[in-house]
Amino acid sequence: MSKTVDLQVEKSQTLIDGLRRNLAQVADKGISGEGLDAMQRDLDTLREQGKECDALREELTRKVKTMNAQMMRVKERFAETKKAVKGYFPQEEWARFGVTDKR
- Say what the pLDDT of residue 1 is: 78
- pLDDT, tens digit, 9 for 90 and up, residues 70-88: 999 999 999 999 999 999 9
Residues 49-57: what's their mean pLDDT? Answer: 96
The candidate with the shortest Cα–Cα distance to 26, out of 16, 39, 12, is 16
Query: Model pTM?
Result: 0.71
Domain boundaries, the chain: 3-88
Range 48-51 contact pairs with CB under 8 angstroms and sequence separation of 24 or more: 50/1, 50/2, 50/5, 50/6, 50/9, 51/1
The candidate with the shortest Cα–Cα distance to 40, out of 22, 21, 14, is 14
The candidate with the shortest Cα–Cα distance to 50, out of 4, 85, 90, is 4
pLDDT band at 103 (very low <50, low <70, confident <90, very high): low
The whole-angstrom separation of Cα 91 and Cα 40 is 70
